[in-house]
Chains A and B, each alone.
Chain A
Amino acid sequence: MAKSPQTQLPLKAFGWAASDTSGILAPFHFSRRENGQNDVTLQILYCGVCHSDLHTLKNDWGFTTYPVVPGHEIVGVVTKIGNNVKNFKVGDKVGVGVIVESCKECECCQQDLESYCPKPVFTYNSPYYDGTRTQGGYSNFVVVHQRYVLRFPENLPLDAGAPLLCAGITVYSPMKYYGMTEAGKHLGVAGLGGLGHVAIKFAKAFGLKVTVISSSPNKEDEAIKRLGADSFLVSSDPAKMKASAAMGTMDYIIDTISAVHSLIPLLGLLKLNGKLVTVGLPNKPLELPIFPLVAGRKLVGGSNFGGIKETQEMLDFCGKHNISADIELIKMDHINTAMERLSKSDVKYRFVIDVANSFSSL
Chain B
Amino acid sequence: MATQPQIQHPNKALGYAARDPSGLLSPFNFSRRETGEKDVAFKVLYCGICHSDLHMVKNEWGFSTYPLVPGHEVVGVVTEVGSKVEKFKVGDKVGVGCMVDSCRTCQNCAENLENYCPQFTLTYGAKHKDGSITYGGYSDSMVADEHFVVRIPEGLPLDAAAPLLCAGITVYSPLRYFALDKPGLHVGVVGLGGLGHVAVKFAKAFGAKVTVISTSPNKKEEAIQNLGADSFLISRDQDQMQGAMGTLDGIIDTVSAVHPLLPLIGLLKSHGKLVMVGAPEKPLEMPVIPLIMGRKIVAGSSIGGMKETQEMIDFAAEHNVKPDIEVIPIDYVNTAMERLHKADVKYRFVIDIGNTLKSTS
Q: Which residues of A contact B (CB under 8 A)?
A: 108, 116, 177, 262-264, 272-273, 278-282, 285-304
Contact = CB atoms under 8 A, between A and B. Distances in A.
Contacts of A116: 270-271, 293-295
B134 to A, nearest CB: 19
A303 B295 CA distance: 5
Contact of A294 (B113, B297, B300): B300
B280 to A, nearest CB: 5
Interface of B: 108, 113, 116, 177, 261-262, 270-271, 276-281, 283-302
A297 B300 CA distance: 5
12 contacts: A116-B295, A272-B113, A281-B289, A285-B286, A288-B283, A294-B277, A299-B298, A300-B291, A300-B299, A302-B290, A302-B293, A304-B295
**Chain B binding surface SS class:** mixed
Given A289-B283, A297-B177, 9 more contacts: A108-B270, A116-B294, A263-B286, A278-B288, A291-B281, A294-B300, A302-B291, A302-B292, A302-B294
Q: Which of A264, A287, A292, A297 has the most CB of B within 10 A?
A: A297
Given A294-B276, A298-B300, A288 B285 contact: yes
B279 A296 contact: no
A280 B113 CA distance: 33
A290 B288 contact: no
Contacts of A293: 276, 298-300
A294 B302 contact: yes
A280 to B, nearest CB: 7
A301 B297 contact: yes
A289 B282 CA distance: 7
A290 B296 contact: no
Given A272-B108, A285-B286, A301 B296 contact: yes
A290 B291 CA distance: 16
Nearest to B276: A290
Q: Which 5 A-B pairs have the closest CB atoms?
A: A293-B300, A302-B291, A294-B300, A299-B299, A302-B292
B286 A300 contact: yes
Contact of A297 (B116, B289, B291): B116
Nearest to A283: B289
Given A288-B283, A290-B280, A295 B293 contact: no
Nearest to B117: A272
A285 B292 CA distance: 12
A302 B288 CA distance: 7
B118 to A, nearest CB: 9
Nearest to B269: A107
A116 B296 CA distance: 11
Given A108-B270, A293-B300, A298-B300, A288 B284 contact: yes
Given A263-B286, A291-B281, A294-B277, A301 B300 contact: no
Given A289-B283, A300-B286, A302-B296, A278 B291 contact: yes
A263 B262 CA distance: 17
Contacts of B277: 294
